[in-house]
């Protein structure tokens, strides 16, 4: 009788040991990811009250992770009193980021107007930098544009695969440019020294809120497929821990 009880006890203690060992192991391994989920979940839950939905991310490092700050070296050109910079599709007039974008090819200043050319479009601003006009491929001789320049009569010239064209008044029409007219072409230069100030402008102009970052931290998306997998795994681990915990509790009784 006593032997039976001890045999049964021995049979029962083996799975309990196994349960306890796994419970301990999973608990230790997934403690940190679980803490991460709990903290980020709490922050999301109270994000509005904590101002996370309004507070903008000002970390250049983090914005780089979200491809909000380009790699490479900006291109810079002067047009009248303005310095025009292009950096991976973003365009800047002096220290102002424009809403318009494209690969900068050059810029020229007319009396009262600033003309910025990208490969696909031309943007026109007044002397205060106010956005006046946009010329898309429907208003251009051909795209991509190669160069933009001015002749002595302040007429805007464009060079494309179809040759050299000159705009009429108000950019309403264009015609093939006479070959003998000398043109001063806008030239882009590399501006590695401009990079820090442009990065600062992008950081200040960022619309990225902390709630977006925390959402991505919570779902694991901030770390791509690996992060999402880890969050899934943590979820499964919590399920297993719960089941093992219940088993251990029931067996003890």
Partner 1 sequence: MHHLLTIILLIAASGIAQAGTTVYQKPSDFIRSACGGQIPTSKYLTLTSSHQGKIRRLMGHEYRPSRVRYWTYRGKMVVILDELGKTQPITTGYVVSGGKIELVKMLIYRETIGAEVRRTSFTNQFKGAALGSSGKLSRRVNNIAGATLSTRAMMEMGRVAIYLDQVRPK
Q: Which residues bind partner 1 (CB under 8 A)?
A: 64-67, 99, 123-124, 130-139, 170, 172-173, 221-227
Spatial neighbors of 197 by CB under 8 A, at least 6 apart, are 95
Closer CB to partner 1, 139 or 197, in the complex: 139
Contact of 145 with 185, CB cutoff 8 Å: no
CB of 104 to partner 1, least distance (A): 18
Report strand pairing: 131-135 vs 163-167: unpaired
Query: What are the strands, taking DSSP E only, across 161-239?
Result: 163-167, 174-176, 183-185, 189-190
- Which letter does DSSP use for residue 97 in this model? E
Closer CB to partner 1, 6 or 99, in the complex: 99
Closer CB to partner 1, 74 or 220, in the complex: 220
Tell whether the torsion through CA atoms of 19, 24, 25 and 29 is positive or negative: positive
CB of 219 to partner 1, least distance (A): 11
CB of 49 to partner 1, least distance (A): 26
Query: What are the strands, taking DSSP E only, across 80-215?
Result: 82-87, 90-93, 96-101, 104-110, 113-118, 122-126, 131-135, 147-151, 156-160, 163-167, 174-176, 183-185, 189-190
CB of 133 to partner 1, least distance (A): 4
Closer CB to partner 1, 102 or 191, in the complex: 102
Closer CB to partner 1, 92 or 183, in the complex: 92
Rounded to whole angstroms, how far apart are CA atoms 146 and 179? 17
CB of 128 to partner 1, least distance (A): 12
């Amino acid at each position: 009788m006593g032997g039976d009880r001890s045999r049964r006890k021995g049979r029962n203690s083996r799975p309990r040991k196994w349960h306890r060992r796994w419970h301990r192991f999973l608990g230790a391994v997934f403690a940190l990811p679980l803490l991460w989920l709990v903290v980020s979940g709490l922050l999301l839950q109270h994000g509005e009250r904590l101002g996370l939905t309004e507070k903008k991310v000002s970390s250049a490092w983090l914005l780089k992770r979200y491809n909000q700050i380009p790699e490479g070296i900006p291109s810079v050109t002067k047009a009248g009193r303005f310095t025009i910079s292009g950096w991976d599709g973003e365009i800047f007039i002096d220290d102002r980021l424009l809403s318009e974008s494209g690969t900068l090819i050059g810029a020229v200043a007319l009396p009262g107007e600033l003309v910025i050319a990208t490969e696909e479009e031309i943007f026109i601003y007044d002397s205060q930098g106010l956005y006046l006009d946009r010329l898309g491929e429907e208003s251009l001789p051909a795209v991509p544009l190669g160069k933009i320049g001015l002749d002595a009569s302040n007429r805007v010239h464009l060079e494309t695969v179809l040759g050299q064209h000159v705009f009429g008044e108000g950019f309403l029409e264009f015609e093939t440019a006479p070959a003998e007219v000398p043109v001063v072409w806008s030239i882009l230069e590399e501006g590695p020294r401009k990079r820090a100030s442009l990065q600062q402008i992008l950081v200040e102009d960022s619309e990225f809120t902390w709630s977006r970052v925390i959402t991505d931290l919570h779902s694991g998306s901030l770390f791509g497929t690996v992060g999402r997998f880890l969050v899934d795994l943590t979820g499964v681990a919590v399920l297993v821990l719960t089941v093992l915990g219940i088993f251990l509790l029931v067996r003890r009784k």
